Amino acid sequence: MTEQQDLAGRVIVVTGASRGIGYFSAIEAAKRGAHVIAIARTVGGLEDLDDEIQAAGGTATLVPMDLTDGDAIDRMGRAIFERWGKLDGLLANAGMLGAISPVSHLDPKEVKKVFDLNVISNFRLVRSLEPLLKQSDAGRIVFVSSSSAYSCKPYWGLYAATKAALNAMAKSYAGENANTKLNINVVNPGPTRTQMRAKAVPGEDPDTIPHPREIAPKFIDLVSPDFAENGQFVDLKDNGKVSPL
């Protein structure tokens, strides 16, 4: 275990935990003393994660699940309530890039698939987990977004639209909770050495951008009780600049 134990006794959900940012953020949370509820579709990746967390002296509950299954999210919420009675943090990291394409050429099925994961699943998580998060003394939700929500580059319309929708939902939701102990924020990781980045920018030298393990501590800082901001966009690409959504 690390010396830093600021999350001791806390329960944190991490989605998209089988690889990339979610994987290393889950390890970081466990090292800080949190019990991690790790969600992903890939069982093998979750098992690898569990091995690393145990090796670090931490604990995790693995939840192999398709986040586009809203009923499964509801069942998970009930299970968390029955076991812990509360939830302290949600790192909503899972997402997909979708097709890089002219908007007029997008397949409607592709559009639905990307919106279902990047937007609707996050709404379903909020709907199911809010009562648990409000049982915490300092509930924290962090949605992983992108500068694409603002840049809206040509051919990135689908991904940009989903992240803009996510940001808008987070902003409204944060305002609704301005007078509660539940804080909602959004983080932009910036260019990171992930499979999604390799797909989006195939010619890029991966050694020129940060590895997920390098930025994972910054992600977990945002679900710590010490991070008291609400309704903010935290831009790790811009040295962690914090500005209103």
User: Which active-site residues does the annotation give?
Assistant: 159
Instruction: Answer for the pair 110, 153: CB distance below 8 angstroms, yes or no.
Output: no
List the one residue out of 59, 27, 23, 57 whose CA is nearest residue 42: 23
| Partners of 91 in beta bridges | 14, 142
Other residues' Cβ atoms within 10 Å of the Cβ of residue 194: 20
| Partners of 90 in beta bridges | 13, 141
User: What is the distance in angstroms between the CA of the first residue and the CA of the last residue of the chain?
Assistant: 35
Q: What is the DSSP letter of 120?
A: I
Cα distances from 134 to residues 118, 126, 179, 181, 235, in angstroms, run 23, 11, 12, 7, 26
Buried b / exposed e over 35-74, threshold 16 CB at 10 Å, is bbbbbbeeeebbeebbebbeeeebebbbbbbebbebebbe
